[in-house]
Structure 1
Amino acid sequence: MKKILLICLGVGLGMACMAAGVCSKAVEGLSQKSFRVVRKVNLKNFDKIALAGSYDVVYTQGNGYSIQVVGPEKNVGQVAFEVNRGTLTIRPKCNLSSSFRFGFSKSTDDVVIKVTSPDLIAVTVTGSGSFKAPRLVDTDNLVLALTGSGDILFNNVVCDSYSAKLSGSGDMDIKKIVAQTANLTLMGSGDLDVRQYNVKKTTATLRGSGDLDIVCHDCGTLTADLIGSGDISLKGNVRNVVKNVRGSGDISDSTTRK
């Protein structure tokens, strides 16, 4: 009788385990299937973007306006958008907990925001988010500002003039930019890298311990001003270089004259 009871008990436990395994797979499959959703935002008439938080923004210049939020369903609805005086502001919603809004919860890392507009003249990133423009951006004047530990990346830019200011420990990288004038400012411990073409006048200022790297192709006058322990690296070919150093930092100049 005991043997029969043990056998029945074993069979019952086995069936229960099999059932639990099936349910677990079903839940996993459902979770994976519904993990990423797309939310479309109907806003337009902006040529400036301000990002606050730890979101990833991917920008494309196009004929019309488009905003798409891609990520987990529970997170895509927690992003707030607003257009005011031509600026598209992207930030966490105000009704989130203080730890989410001010600590920028890691769950925001799963959200990617895709933005398209006909023109772009300014980008501001505050916090640990990232802004990337993988394709050509053609505009008149471009103003870039990064405060915090975030990232700004442009692969290819054509404009008349541009300014790039980095405050904090973030990274700003402009792979290629064709312009007439440039104003570069680095304050803090971050990294600012620029490869520029045909720029007639460049002003580069470093305050702090960061690294400022400039590669010039067929450029005019380049003025580099350093205060602190940071490093400025100058490469390429220019017409003239003016250097000022105050502190323990260094300006490495390997440029050639035209």
Structure 2
Amino acid sequence: MKKILLTCLGIGCFMVCMGVGRSFVNDYGFKKAPRVVRKIGLKNFDKIALAAAYDVIYTQGNDYSIQVIGPEKNVKLASFEVNGGTLTIRAKRNIASSFHFGFSGSTDNVVIKITSPDLIAATVTGSGSFKAPRRVDTDNLVLTLTGSGDMLFNDVICDNYSAKLTGSGDLDIKKIVAQTAVLSVLGSGDLEVSQYNVRKTKASLRGSGDLDLVCHDCGVLNAELTGSGDISLKGSVQNVVKNVRGSGDISDATTRK
């Protein structure tokens, strides 16, 4: 009986300590720390490469602007450089994988707002996030997501575009008007696209992921699937060519023009 009481008391003390720890982190952790804005004076880039677990919000505009928003301790760790027209964003040290109880910095609390006159490529490597909530109007657009991060474009107008997803991330293009498209999924990620007036589309999936494509008044569509994943095709097209190798499925609900 005494052993049972001691065991119960020990468990009770442990739960109290854990509760206090969580309360302290929630009340005084980084999410409650004062937020600062750091301005980066870099220009002359039309490509953005994110290689850290930051949240990037992109807006197309007349001028260049980079703002880093978050707790001062975390904001200082963000590193920027422009080389060959590419703005590369990194963290000065891998704080995301360090052992802490909420007292040390976290890239999750940093938002980076970027504006530039043009964007022709966006790359996310790792668990970061890249979002373009407003229209992006460009000639050619190359989107690449590698890892478990996510990428979102709400409205795009371009001539040609490609979207390549490798890993377990999510890549979502709500609306894009273009002439040609190349879509690729390798792994277990999810790629969703709603496209308009695209004359020629090549869509391929290798692995267990999902590729959802909605076509509005489009031309020829080639869909290739290898593995156990699923490709979903909807909308109106001129012709669809399908090739399946493996246990996956290409669901074709398109109508012919």
Normalised-by-shorter TM-score class: 0.7 to 0.9
Distance 1:103 1:178, change over 3 A: farther
Task: Measure the CA separation in 2 of the matches of 1:239 and 1:49.
Answer: 35
Structure 1's consecutive aligned runs of 4 or more residues displaced over 3 angstroms after TM superposition are 101-106
Task: Measure the CA separation in 2 of the matches of 1:68 and 1:58.
Answer: 10
Q: 1:100 aligns with which of 83, 95, 100?
A: 95
* Superposition deviation, residue 53 in structure 1: 1.2
Whichever residue aligns with residue 84 of structure 2, its letter is R
2:187 is the counterpart of 1:188: yes
Q: Is the 8 A contact 2:73 2:105 kept in 1?
A: no
| Aligned twin of 2:83 | 84
* Superposition deviation, residue 172 in structure 1: 0.1
Using structure 2 for the length normalisation, give the TM-score.
0.84
Whichever residue aligns with residue 149 of structure 1, its letter is S
Task: Measure the CA separation in 2 of the matches of 1:240 and 1:122.
Answer: 29
Task: Measure the CA separation in 2 of the matches of 1:156 and 1:194.
Answer: 11
* Superposition deviation, residue 211 in structure 1: 0.2
Q: Is the 8 A contact 2:96 2:106 kept in 1?
A: no
Using structure 1 for the length normalisation, give the TM-score.
0.84
Whichever residue aligns with residue 237 of structure 1, its letter is S
Task: Measure the CA separation in 1 of the matches of 2:111 and 2:64.
Answer: 17
| Aligned twin of 1:222 | 221
Whichever residue aligns with residue 111 of structure 2, its letter is V
| Aligned twin of 2:232 | 233
Task: Measure the CA separation in 1 of the matches of 2:97 and 2:61.
Answer: 33
| Aligned twin of 1:45 | 44
Instruction: Please give the root-mean-square deviation of Cα atoms over the aligned residues, in Å.
Output: 1.8
* Superposition deviation, residue 221 in structure 1: 0.3
Unaligned runs of 5+ in 1: 1-26
Q: Is the 8 A contact 2:206 2:229 kept in 1?
A: yes
| Alignment size in residue pairs | 225
* SS of alignment partner, residue 228 of structure 2: coil
| Aligned twin of 2:114 | 115
Task: Measure the CA separation in 1 of the matches of 2:157 and 2:200.
Answer: 16
Unaligned runs of 5+ in 2: 1-26
| Aligned twin of 1:69 | 68
Distance 1:68 1:201, change over 3 A: same
* SS of alignment partner, residue 70 of structure 1: strand
* Superposition deviation, residue 205 in structure 1: 0.4
Deviations 1:196-223 (Å, cap 9, x if unpaired)? 0000000000000000000000000000
Deviations 1:107-128 (Å, cap 9, x if unpaired)? 1000000000000000010000
Task: Measure the CA separation in 2 of the matches of 1:111 and 1:175.
Answer: 25
Whichever residue aligns with residue 132 of structure 1, its letter is K
Distance 1:103 1:186, change over 3 A: farther
Q: Is the 8 A contact 2:54 2:110 kept in 1?
A: yes
Task: Measure the CA separation in 1 of the matches of 2:34 and 2:189.
Answer: 34
| Aligned twin of 1:4 | none
| Aligned twin of 2:16 | none
| Aligned twin of 1:165 | 164
